[in-house]
A and B are shown apart, each in its own frame.
Chain A
């Protein structure tokens, strides 16, 4: 029964990694200085944290209907997470929030709309 032990260890590692990424993303949401950089921090916990946690829970559940539901949740968040992040960013851009640039001496090609 070494296979079950390996699956167990891998799934715990995935769940721990997912938890760590989730907390890192939340810390970034608190620490980053302005809106445009907070977008990136939020997508850390939304992509890596979510993927690792769902994969770990899938390994824990084994081949059952529970796994199908977990994969459905994961696929849905995988598709809609970036979409809503893009929607927030686009709405902020449309309402006149200017994205700032730390790069000097280089002209942003069309950013100053």
Chain B
């Protein structure tokens, strides 16, 4: 059933280690009995994950991103979130809410599913733009303050997300 047995065991070990570190961070009580209970729960969780992995072997998520570029992208995204929050807050608090609602298609150039997910989540995370629907190669985006350069701003974000993808396929 499982072809690549070595890689499989390595993944199981990595999962167990990650879960145990998470358990240690969550628990905060380090008596022997409690720690052994934690080890037992990690083993049960790894067994369950292993069964799921065998059942849905094709749907496994593979993270292929550049680890250092993603930090830079994250900082840029934070600044964008604060800026767009400020813009939407001004609209909400102004006595006459001047809405300029519109919906349009934004092409996306990411190759992997994870890259597309990051792009769509980044669009939704900045208030003022929401990704409503995914079609082949483009997102339907709804915005509350449409202007002429909102399409180019999203194209800029698209290029940045594509840049943090490492070369695959």
Q: A residues near B, CB below 8 A?
A: 21, 24-25, 27-28, 31-33, 36-37, 39-41, 43-44, 47-48, 51, 65, 68-69, 78-79, 81-83, 85-86, 89-90, 93, 99-103, 106, 108-111, 113
Contacts and interface: CB of A to CB of B under 8 A. Distances in A.
A51 B125 CA distance: 11
A50 B43 CA distance: 34
Tell me whether chain B's interface is mostly helix, strand or loop, or mixed. Answer: mixed
Nearest to A34: B101
Contacts of A110: 105, 135, 140
A111 B124 contact: no
Interface of B: 25-26, 28, 78, 81-82, 85, 88-89, 91-93, 97, 99-105, 120-121, 124-128, 130-133, 135, 140, 142, 144, 146
Tell me whether chain A's interface is mostly helix, strand or loop, or mixed. Answer: helix
A101 B92 contact: no
A89 B92 contact: no
Contact of A111 (B78, B99, B103, B130): B103
Most A-side CB within 10 Å, residue of B99, B100, B127: B127
Contact of B88 (A31, A44, A78): A44
Contact of B133 (A21, A78, A93): A93
A100 B101 contact: yes
Given A31-B97, A100-B101, 11 more contacts: A43-B125, A44-B92, A51-B81, A65-B25, A69-B26, A82-B124, A89-B131, A103-B101, A109-B104, A110-B135, A113-B133
A102 B102 contact: yes
Contacts of B132: 86, 89-90, 93, 99
A93 B135 CA distance: 13
B124 A43 contact: yes
A40 B88 CA distance: 8
A79 B125 CA distance: 9
B101 A32 contact: no
A33 B126 CA distance: 20
A99 B101 contact: yes
Given A103-B146, A109-B105, A40 B25 contact: no
Contacts of A68: 25-26
Contacts of B126: 47
Contacts of A102: 99-102, 146
A21 B128 CA distance: 14
Contacts of A85: 124, 130
B124 to A, nearest CB: 4
